[in-house]
Structure 1
Amino acid sequence: MVEPVATSLSARPDDARGALLRAAIAEFAARGEAGARTDAIARAAGVNKALLHYYFGTKQALYAAALDAILAGLKEHYLGILEGPGTAGQRMLRYVLANFDRMAGSRDYARVLGHEMMRARAGESASVPRMVQAYFGPLNAVVCRTLDEGVRSGEFRALDPGQTALSLTGANVFYFLSAPVFTELTGRDPRDPEMLARRRVAILDLAASVLFADREAGQGTARAVLDEPAGTHPEP
């Protein structure tokens, strides 16, 4: 069941719209687009269902807006890291860690995207092409450009930027998508704080081992990135 969002019927328009989006993300994460109910979203947001239709029109339009709400800020956050200060190695490791931390910090984020990927595999998604054009495509281009920069500078070993980008992203995604299997194998919840802390170290160790021409230098860069204070690269 989706928990009510703190708001009221007298909330300002921007507050009501934001509350609807937050409730929608939670409902879509739990049930997917097909199973989500607009009356449950309106009830969780604390607004009249008519207000939902006023702002978004249809459930499909609300779903598109929820995807945009999830992805727009993340794209800018990741681009800020990849185009920020530091060597290509520092920026890539920060990006890999930020991607992991986002999936670790929000079950709804991972679940909504997981539902959408399942729909896409079944040929039922109209959102993936738009998501790629608006968010994933531009982000992937900068990731590949950063990888190529590292290769050209000699910081990274010779590698295929496109394949490496897929591998690094896949390592993060697989950890969370395989959570039920992981739990059965180990008897541990992969989202347990201790397990997440160990995985943060492991994913940067993997990335540094894959990327850097000088493995020892890469491990040192990974340790330095892990030691950066929390909030050094805050999400918007």
Structure 2
Amino acid sequence: MSIRSWVVGDGPSVVLVHAGVADSRMWARQVSDLSRDHRVITVDLRGFGETPVEPKYSDARDLLAVLDEVGAEQVAAVGASYGGYVVQQAACHSPERFSRVIQFCSPTDNVVPTPDLRAVWDEENRLVEAGDLDGAAELTVEKWIGPDADDEARELLRTMQRRAYELQVPAGDVDNEELPVDPARLTMPVRMFTGAKDFAWFTDCANYLAERLPDGQIVELPWAGHLPTLERPEEGTALIRAALS
């Protein structure tokens, strides 16, 4: 299949799904640690990293297909931002395949975006339409990673977002089928991490889910922006390990 994926290590399977401003490279530090005692699966969703765009696809179905391809009958799933939303879709479609779900600053359905977030999306669209992809990537670094991130993390984010534009902009409009999200179907333990320095909408989304999940828990990180595992990699890994146990 055309979805690029990687499998490292041996043990219980865990899949890491990247944010919509990143690709699988955002998980490098987590893969290095978790693969000591887990079978770690990472993917580049369509239009990110090493996976090209197609006119019609479904990120959630692609994720399930990757799990089939690598022989992972059941996994724990970690999703960052948009990657968490992809995990929600896949886990609602096939809940028996997910032993637990861990979300970092993820959106969900039925929650209205806040004005500050809409303003960032509008500015990004303006820059992309003007052909200023470098400026759009700089906007990503300015708005989508918290103050604790070091220069290496910021440069990685800039590189990943610039790569996404290179793949997505020439492709134009695409049809990405989204599967329905019904929190009642997410019967596995769901741990949600939010950042106090992130856009408020993502906390609103976590609160919405927590009120409806059979087994959901929110943990607010007072130091975190939108990408905690990039901002403080060691702490991010420790949070994942604790949530997996």
* TM-score, scaled relative to structure 1: 0.28
Taking CA–CA contacts closer than 8 Å with sequence separation of 6 or more, which of the two structures ends up with the larger relative contact order? Answer: 2
Greater per-residue strand proportion? 2
More helix by percentage: 1
**Structure possessing the higher radius of gyration over alpha carbons:** 1
Q: TM-score, normalised by structure 2?
A: 0.27
